[in-house]
Structure 1
Amino acid sequence: MSLTIKNVALAGASGNVGARVLDALLDLKFNVTVLSRRSTNFPTGARVKVVDFTSVEALSAAMAGQDAVIDTTFSPEVDTPLRLIEAAAKAGVYRFITSDFGLDPELPGVRDMPVFGRKKVSYDAVKKQAADNRLTYTVVACGAFLDWGLSTGFAGLNFQEKKAWIFGDGCNVVPWTTLEDVGKATANVLLHPQETKNRPVYVHSVFMSQNQLFDAAKEALGDEGWTVTYNDMEPLLQKVLADLKSGNISDATFSVQIQYCLSTETLAHPWARDDNSLVGLEEWGLEKVKGLIQTIANKVV
């Protein structure tokens, strides 16, 4: 069964991904209900329901009449996405988009990483609900966030200090997608319910290696004065896994796991299936990437 999706509930609308998804949904004229833990201002056009996220019953009641639910919540605990999935199934929702937005959920090695444990549990749960109920699902696989990664240093490039921290040899080509493109792709999934039913949808702004991003940065900002460090990711991974086990947790505990994946071809590589055209995305050229780098650098330098 397929239907026209018009009424959409969005959880996590104030986050980096959620805010872009909300903008894209409103641009496409969906009837949007934001599910929020507290009263918050959101863009005009979005209806806001304050709901108890600890209660499946409350969430299910808030989802009544919705054709789709999008989860853009991000937190280490898995209870919230599981409750959202269960509530959507109880409410008779047709489509659920999980809070994944990363690497290929079909790759076992990816889901073996503790950092992706929440996503693995959510993916397994939504597939089970889809097998047992009316609910269908989509996962948006977008690789790493391009603009966020360049802005925060997660991509290994420090524009202010002109430092490059390279994962492995820096040669592995992976998908990178801007937050705006992630939002656009997610909203456009709902325009194609049959084509996106019960599967990952694979999107990207660019396929680039870290070295190629670094080269783009040098072209945009100048070749002189950079300090480059190449890092063996295996011992770094083992250290953060040991830290995680001992409870010595920091930001690196999680970021290094993802960076390890991005350096490893079996865990991160260009998509074999490309859904860009289906969801209205265009691949970026080098000049556009350089322009993004220049814009970000101007804000931090």
Structure 2
Amino acid sequence: MSPPPPTHVALVGATGSLGPAILAALLAASHTVTVLTRIGSTAAAKLPPHPNMDIKEVDLGDARSIAPAFSGVSVVISSVAASAIASQNPLIDAAVAAGVQRFIPAEYGLDSANAKAALLPIIKEKVDTQTYLNAKVRETGGTFSWTAIANGWFLDWVLQSTDILLDVKERRATLYNGGDVPFSAALLRDIAQAVVGIVAKPEETKNRVVYVHSAVVTQKQLLRYAEERDGRKWSTSVQGTKELLEEIKGAVEKEDFDTAYRVAPILGCSDLGYGCDFSDHVDNELLGIKEMSEAELRELVEGLL
């Protein structure tokens, strides 16, 4: 079967943690990409030029400023930072005004369809965005649609850029709920492939959350790979659901949303009640994503050391 024809897409947040991988995957699939950047921002200037890419500066808080940049665009992909998750409505309004057919909001994490996860900070904001998207679907009679992506942790990013799952520098780990809880996680490249897959299969992914992962792992599994490569035992401590919930509650009361947004995914990926294992409903095959082998997982962890 021949691949679907290229389309014109818009990407918001092309220079964050995930954005560059999405941009590269879209361009590799021969799509035309309009990158939206905030007026006055210099971040997009760092992107390598490409004949199928253009960059447009807009006021990301004003739908009237954004809408002209969506002219001729079929799919809008949002990859905005966590701090902007609750501020995607102007993008959605602009997409509807411009006749965009599909909007992919900035989800990329926990299962927002899980009732417990939906109550957590940052996940609640994602659910609110879905509610707004569904209202637009009804208003347009279904000419507008959306797809959200649940992928668990950004596996390579969280291992390489944080000390959340493994503290490589200090050779230690905080084992959440003992470290034996299996959770879904995805490589940045596989999340980007999910985006490309949604563009290619709009009907199969319409108005729902799709679930992808590169692997289902446990913290102790990752720790074992690290210790075997390092040739020594690492120090560990344990933190449970109750402690994590208290930390989130305290952060919200203090309006320390950076902390609340950081701890919420830790809780959600360390307690099966929050739906962190997607194994029985994953969309990998539909979207063209292959799971990692144990050897590939081990190589990823060993590369940290």
Q: TM-score, normalised by structure 2?
A: 0.90
Deviation at 1:221, TM superposition (A): 2.9
Structure 1 contact 173–269 (Cα < 8 Å) conserved: yes
Which residue type is aligned with residue 212 of structure 1? Q
2:205 aligned with 1:196:
yes
Q: Which of 95-104 and 272-281 deviates more? A: 272-281
Cα distance 1:83–1:74, how it changes in 2: closer, same or farther (>3 A)?
same
1:121-160 paired onto structure 2 within 5 Å: 121-133=128-140, 134-160=143-169
Asked whether the equivalents of residues 236 and 256 of structure 1 are also in contact (C-alpha less than 8 Å), the reply is yes
Counterpart of 2:90, as a letter, is R
C-alpha RMSD over aligned residues: 1.8
Report the CA distance between 1:242 and its aligned residue: 1.9
Alignment of 1:13 with 2:20, yes or no, is no
Query: For 1:183 and 1:192, how far apart are their aligned partners in 2?
Result: 14
Matching residue of 2:57: 50
- Does structure 1 conserve the Cα–Cα contact (< 8 Å) formed by 2:82 and 2:261? no
Distance 2:259 2:27 in 1: 35
- The whole-number CA distance in structure 2 between the counterparts of 1:4 and 1:80 is 32
Point out where structure 1 has 5 or more consecutive residues left out of the alignment.
none
Distance 1:75 1:208, change over 3 A: closer
Q: Which moved more, 1:202-211 or 1:253-262?
A: 253-262
The separation in 2 between residues aligned to 1:278 and 1:189, in whole angstroms, is: 9
Unaligned regions of 5+ residues in structure 2, if any?
none
For the pair 1:172 / 2:181, whether they are aligned, the reply is yes
Task: Count how many residue pairs are aligned between Structure 1 and Structure 2.
Answer: 293
Matched, 1:67 2:74: yes
Alpha-carbon separation, structure 1, partners of 2:6 and 2:70: 14
Residue 269 in structure 1 maps to residue 276 in structure 2 = yes
Distance change in 2, residues 1:135/1:280 (3 Å): same
Give the letter for the 1:43 counterpart.
P
**Alignment CA distance shift 1:102-1:78 (3 Å):** closer
Deviation of 1:251 (Å): 4.7
**Separation (CA, whole Å) in 2 of partners of 1:49 and 1:78:** 21
Tell me the residue number matched to 1:230: 238
Match of 1:205 in 2: 214
Q: State which drifts further: 60-69 or 206-215.
A: 206-215
Equivalent position SS for 1:197: coil
The offset of 1:93, in angstroms, is 0.3
Return the alpha-carbon distance in structure 1 between the equivalents of residues 129 and 5 of structure 2.
25
Query: Once the 2 structures are TM-superposed, how far is the Cα of residue 268 of structure 1 from its aligned partner?
Result: 2.9
2:259 paired with 1:258: no
The whole-number CA distance in structure 1 between the counterparts of 2:176 and 2:86 is 32
1:30 aligned partner: 31
Post-superposition offset of 1:171:
1.6
CA distance in 2 between counterparts of 1:111 and 1:250 reads: 16
Structure-1 separation of matches of 2:164 and 2:288: 25
Query: Are 1:114 and 2:121 an aligned pair?
Result: yes
Q: TM-score, normalised by structure 1?
A: 0.91
Residues 68 and 98, structure 2, Cα contact 8 Å, conserved in 1:
yes
SS in 2 for 1:50: strand
Question: Which residue identity is paired with 2:166?
Answer: L
Is the Cα contact below 8 Å between 1:155 and 1:210 reproduced in 2? no
User: Hey, what's the Cα distance between the residues in 2 that align with 1:140 and 1:253?
Assistant: 21
Shift of 1:60: 1.1
Which position in structure 2 is the counterpart of 1:241?
249
Amino acid in the other structure paired with 1:147: D
**2: CA distance, partners of 1:90 / 1:17:** 27
Residue of structure 2 equivalent to 1:80: 87
SS in 2 for 1:92: coil
Question: In structure 2, the residue corresponding to 1:169 is in which secondary structure?
Answer: helix
**Counterpart of 2:275 in 1: which secondary structure?**
coil
> What whole-Å deviation, never above 9, does each CA across 1:164-195 have from its counterpart, x for those lacking one?
11101212111010112111221221011111
Q: CA deviation at 1:284?
A: 0.4
The aligned amino acid for 1:177 is: A
Which range moved further: 61-70 or 180-189? Answer: 180-189
- How much does 1:240 deviate? 3.0
Comparing 184-193 with 60-69, which one deviates more in the overlay? Answer: 184-193
